[in-house]
Structure 1
């Protein structure tokens, strides 16, 4: 009898060089796709914030104008960014500014990239002849937002 044991061949462990290269290529292609998707999302992530700022500025200005008294005749509005001397709706006709300012004319640095313009025109709203159509337009780099509101002479 043979006292020597027969050695069984061990199964090989690990992987070969071509398998390692293939794994590196597959992982690299997958990472490239994921990073490209993240880059696209990151580039466009500020757009909703700018749009929301534009909507907020337009709504604030439209509400400010609609709260002013109705005026039959147009007045000459002072030039500049300040709106504290505007005493009726028609004073806002032709108002425009690059950048956004408070009512008393103080520029808001965080909104310097926005431009605002306002038109006020006579119109008829639902059979009411004494109505003014207020159009507020806010511009940013390549984007324009327009809100339209009405003010009627309901007091007379």
Structure 2
């Protein structure tokens, strides 16, 4: 009678360890390749928010009146030039002093395109100063642009540039407002 040697069944400890090491290296490789894509997956949303905030602020500014005088000035309905106004709107900043984007009521809120000149905010929010979006900053520049557009009167058109920044990303839009009805 002969004894048959036992056949090996299963795997050895060394084979198990090698399998675990090889699979672990593969998983680490896949995760390291996918990590930048996952980390940057929100970038299109952040860019879309930059564009939306910039468009919104530009629309807010361009929908304001562009008159010779501050709309609260008694001469606003009849003025034919800046000289006829007690508070002319050619200073490109809040006129009269003390007007702000966040005020409620006549005489204290921005009410003319030129009032927004030099305006900036650290955390972008709505006109009621609520719903702040941390990390976003905005600035608004207003300048006379009539000559650049071929008009005889340089003050007959304004260039409004809104720039919104978040981290290292920045987005700017420029719009133009013409004085087509200066007493409205």
Q: TM-score normalised to the size of structure 1? A: 0.75
* Structure of greater relative contact order (alpha carbons < 8 Å, 6+ residues apart): 2
Task: From 128, 131, 137, give the equivalent of 1:115.
Answer: 137
Counterparts of 1:80 and 1:115, CA distance in 2: 17
Counterpart of 1:41 in 2: which secondary structure?
helix
Is the alpha carbon distance of 1:7 and 1:148 closer, same or farther for their aligned partners in structure 2, counting shifts above 3 Å? Answer: farther
Change (3 A) 1:31 1:99: same
The residue aligned with 2:121 is 97
Q: Is the 8 A contact 2:50 2:171 kept in 1?
A: yes
Structure 2: runs of 5 or more not aligned: 69-88
Deviation, structure 1 residue 101: 2.7
* Structure 1 gap ranges (5+): none
The residue number in structure 2 matching 1:70 is: 66
Q: Which has the greater radius of gyration?
A: 1
SS in 1 for 2:20: helix
User: 1:14 and 1:137 mapped to 2: Cα distance?
Assistant: 67
Q: Taking structure 2 as the reference length, what is the TM-score of the superposition?
A: 0.66
CA contact (8 A) 2:139 2:164 kept: yes
Query: Structure 1 28/79 Cα, relative in aligned 2: closer, same or farther at 3 Å?
Result: farther
Alpha-carbon distance in 1 for matches of 2:4, 2:41: 62
Structure 1 residues 14 and 66, CA, compared in 2 at 3 Å: closer, same or farther?
same
Q: Would the aligned equivalents of 2:100 and 2:110 in 1 still touch at CA under 8 Å?
A: no
Instruction: Compare the two structures and name the one with the higher strand fraction.
Output: 1
Please give the root-mean-square deviation of Cα atoms over the aligned residues, in Å: 3.0
Could you say what secondary structure the match of 2:55 adopts? helix
